[in-house]
Amino acid sequence: MKVQLLILVATFFYLAYTQLVNGQPHKDCQTSCGNVTIEFPFGTSPDCYYAADPSFNLTCNDKEKLFFRRNLEIINMSHSGELRVMNNISYACYDSQGNSNGSIYYTYRLANLSLSHKNKFTIVGCNAYAYLSTYGTQNYSTGCISACASPPAANGGCHGAGCCSTDVSVPFDNKKFETRPARLPNMTSVYDFNPCTYAFLMENGTFHFNALEDLKNLRNVSQFPLVLDWSIGNQTCEEVGNASMCGMRNNTCFDSNSRPGYNCKCIEGYEGNPYLGCLDINECTTNSTIHKHNCSDPRTCRNKVGGFDCKCRSGYRLDTTAMSCKRKDFGWATILLGTTIGFLCILLVVSCVQQKMKDRKTAELRQKFFEQNGGGMLVQRLSGPGTSNANVQIFTEEGMKTSTNGYDESRILGQGGQGTVYKGILPDNSIVAIKKARLGDNSQVEQFINEVLVLSQINHRNVKLLGCCLETEVPLLVYEFINSGTLFDHLHGSLFGPSLTWEQRLRISVEIAGTLAYLHSSASIPIIHRDVKTANILLDENLTAKVADFGASRLIPMDKEQLTTMVQGTLGYLDPEYYNTGLLNEKSDVYSFGVVLMELLSSQKALCFERPLQSKHLVHYIASAMKENRLHEVIDEKVINENNWKEIQEAVKVAMECTRVTGEERPLMMEVAAKLEGLRVTKTKHQWSDQYPGVEIENLVGVEILSAQGDTSSTGYDSIKNVASLHVAAGR
């Protein structure tokens, strides 16, 4: 008895020692980070990764992204010795004179990992060169040159004209690598269609060169997948012997093909993590098509360690051709008939079971998407205190798919940082705009829920949300369809007719100001849009302005400032005070509106690098013109005439007040709307005076119109009706 107890204790300590040496993880280790599964020998804490090699220590940040050495984001890991990461693109940009206009080069440390032979080094650019350098025991460099004097054919491939690539076969013991692009000297003729040169190392097959898209801005892509090789130690399987990690359960060792060391794999008939031990596959019950049994009748399948057998009952024999049981004494016709009937019955039962499982899985998936897309959060916050319930229609997944013709590319109305907008046709033939949001983490889910909440609080004729769909992998918002494009398109595009008249521009500015004044002052909870720009102003068939895209909006308590953790907005329209301090209030929207008003007046873009250095920003451009008394040079000549120049000057003053650097010096949106409406009323007064000379306009309208430059303390603004509410004079 004592001997048996000693053997048991010795066995226990041996297993504990083996586990400690091999660095196996304890049961509480983190198993995933975002969409990436974390499996031993990798881990995120000292007790969870292979202790003998710190290279297996990974980092999962607060955005649920997994990193190797804190600078390479991992997107996939393989037991066979491969690690896929995202590699940044190095670039060098130049101005029209060939001078450097900004560049970024990346250097990555690989520790005990190495670059796989599955990667290619690629350069995109005309008359450019780049090189890849690795540093270690043996330094290594490679590169290529791309030459072209004009844009090559779009489908020319990556063969030296605008793009070149080379295979990578670097020494395994390099500890870091870097990529550097540059432009050949005296090659200024290509800068108009190719301002930047790009160099990157990426997995072969993940990039296909297109000259029309890639030479200008490389499709706005900043990263490509990269394959790294990893292995255990630096000894072969034969050298490490029984001390390898592959000597536990049902696994085997194989030498790495690309670097020193070894890897583990499960033997035939087993699956799981080969570095922790593999489990037997039950071929008789698994749904895997790779490991499933081939018995004709599932009832004859018998699982065994490392495989399976088809066992026939007494009186039957196994036909190895069809893998079915046949009665030993029956004739061929009887056997064939019985086998056919049995197979059809089994097929019918399997089909019914599969259909029921598919229906249940579909229902579970829809419920999962509903929760994943923040459905529970939306219901809770809509029913919570301080938020009124909104009459938002809930659309089905099938309905959205049908209305967009399966999300066909021809139905795409536009794409941006917040998502893709499709044109949809509902069963009642009404046309809608369906916004498909982009999701990658919980903060974007909250952004989607915030947009629904914001729009549910707005009771204004310029904004209309019809409903949403939460049953899809990414959430959908359904808006009314506005068919005349954006204000940006009308001011800067070429798809529309004659330019907007001054009267139309003034009316549009009043409508935008009225909407923002409503959001700031008349909504149940004050709302800050945070991304006011001409691209977010839609125009209907009557050229009525409608403010859109509330993805970055925030609900805030009355008279409160909000400190944001991340500044959001669009360059050119972004409030400089908000950008510098992170403090958000309604004056940030006032600044952005001032830039929009300047665009309406000048037909110039908010940010234009073709203008002089000090005038690239439209605010500086117009401010400089006013200071130098040449305002007429920057105002759109198509809207200027002898009757409206004073109104234009007053509108410019309003825009300048809105874009003051300090938020406290800017007017409220309600005051801005009242001043602009005052310009319209004044214009109407002049039109009456011209049409009916000698008649007093005050007597006709019964109001006293206050000068935009005078006291506005008695001037209010009705944001619901989008008109100025003026002090009523004594009746006459």
Question: Considering 53, 214, 229, 531, which one is annotated as catalytic?
Answer: 531
* Cis bond upstream, residue 41 (ω within 30): yes
Given a contact cutoff of 8 angstroms between Cβ atoms, the answer to whether 482 and 538 are in contact is: yes
Given a contact cutoff of 8 angstroms between Cβ atoms, the answer to whether 298 and 282 are in contact is: no
Compute the distance between CA of residue 221 and CA of residue 86 in angstroms, rounded to an integer: 12
Separation in Å, CA 66 to CA 34, 107, 177: 8, 19, 21
Tokens of 27: 């049961």
Vertex 285 angle, CA 284 and 287, to 5°: 115
Separation in Å, CA 198 to CA 89, 166, 291, 515, 627: 7, 14, 45, 44, 42
Vertex 470 angle, CA 360 and 379, to 5°: 105
The dihedral region occupied by 707, where left means phi > 0, alpha psi between -120 and 50, and beta the remainder, is beta
CB atoms within 10 A of CB 369: 18
Amino acid at the residue 87: N
Vertex 52 angle, CA 49 and 57, to 5°: 35
Given a contact cutoff of 8 angstroms between Cβ atoms, the answer to whether 633 and 604 are in contact is: no
User: From the DSSP assignment, how many helices (H) and strands (E) are in the chain?
Assistant: 15, 39
CB atoms within 10 A of CB 421: 21
Compute the distance between CA of residue 567 and CA of residue 300 in angstroms, rounded to an integer: 65
Compute the distance between CA of residue 35 and CA of residue 440 in angstroms, rounded to an integer: 10
The distance from CA 494 to its chain's CA centroid, rounded to whole angstroms, is 29
Compute the distance between CA of residue 638 and CA of residue 36 in angstroms, rounded to an integer: 57
Q: Judging by beta carbons within 10 Å of its beta carbon (0-12, 13-18, 19+), is residue 175 exposed, middle or buried?
A: middle
Given a contact cutoff of 8 angstroms between Cβ atoms, the answer to whether 569 and 552 are in contact is: yes
Separation in Å, CA 570 to CA 227, 421, 573, 605: 35, 19, 6, 13
Q: What residue ranges in 285-385 does DSSP mark as E strands?
A: 301-304, 307-310, 316-319, 324-327
229 as an active site residue: the answer is: no
The distance from CA 292 to its chain's CA centroid, rounded to whole angstroms, is 39
Compute the distance between CA of residue 60 and CA of residue 47 in angstroms, rounded to an integer: 15
The DSSP code for 522 is I
The residues that bridge with 433 in the sheet, in sequence order, are: 423, 479
Q: What residue ranges in 438-475 does DSSP mark as E strands?
A: 465-469
Compute the distance between CA of residue 179 and CA of residue 226 in angstroms, rounded to an integer: 13
- Catalytic site residues? 531
